[in-house]
Structure 1
Amino acid sequence: MSATRLLVLGVVRGYGRVHGYRVGADLLSWGAGEWANVKWGSIYHALRQATRAGLLRVHDDVPGRTDYELTERGLAEFRRLLRDALRQPQPRPDLIGAALALLPALPRPEALALLQERLAALEQRREKAQAQLDGWTDPPHVRELFGLWEAGAAAGIEWTRGLIERLTDGAYPMAGEPGSPGRPGSWNVP
């Protein structure tokens, strides 16, 4: 799964119809260059790939400018990528970062359910790492790897529980709620 693809589809969805420069400017202003390794080239590559895959529709009615709009297939792909990124813990933080950047696209109950799935997966990961840590004998230094995995899962559990609590308490306007940026085409072009 590609964090860049998720982010690009999410920004296009947010605006409804937008040119590539705006997609890139938004992503880079969010710091995605650092936490998701998004670069100008990868943004335009993702736009071209998504267009070829039928996820985006191209509009070139303004000379020298190409605008993009999600197709129905693109919307379905965006939703799938967002849900998977939220529910499935990954070793790299770019996918959860992308999911968090686009979190308001989900209704609150769905986001909470997906985070519960993430929490269960992290708890299983922590238990497995702890069992490996407890049972490992030779070579002894490899235990550090299992300790790292256990500590990472434990931190993920703590953070996920906190986010679940914040969302349960009403933090952040989510899709379908007043003030939410989660409706397709609801972002204002500056």
Structure 2
Amino acid sequence: MRATRLFILGALADGGPMHGHKIRAAAKLDRADVWADVKPGSLYGALGRMAAEGVVEVVRTEQEGGMPARTVYGITAKGRDELAAIIRAALADTKLTPDPMQLVLLHRSVIDDDELRTAVRARRASYAEQLEFWTNLRVDAEPHLVGLEPVAFDQTLIRLRAELEWHDQLLTAIGAD
């Protein structure tokens, strides 16, 4: 899936014409880099490429005071079609991404049990930290969440809890000590 394109086209479809700085600010405010792998710094380049492709268009240029001029972009009909296609493709994509841990466990004889246990504990601790981060973020965001956003947050929480459960199962299987 092309997350950056989806973010930009969605922002323009939902919010109307806006300049790149506003789209970037929305990505930073929404923490899109954390949950959608949308890098705010990549948005300007993507807007330029998307304008060249005709999925967004320059609506006008604005300049306030001594600030640099800002180009305001809008979504085109072609862009709306692409947005719908990206959404449909994302909804249809149920492929489970392979986890390299499966190969690691297949070839675990290369490292001893103590090293494996230490690494698995470290991975588990990392997932526990991520769960705490996302749980706190969910609490902080709660007053601002609308529509299906709470359910989107919950998917991340459920996935992290599943990782913790699997790591606990793995630690039991290799022996706690």
Normalised by the size of structure 2, how large is the TM-score? 0.50
Q: Taking CA–CA contacts closer than 8 Å with sequence separation of 6 or more, which of the two structures ends up with the larger relative contact order? A: 1
The structure whose residues are more often helix, as a share, is 2
Query: Which of the pair has more CA radius of gyration?
Result: 2
Normalised by the size of structure 1, how large is the TM-score? 0.47
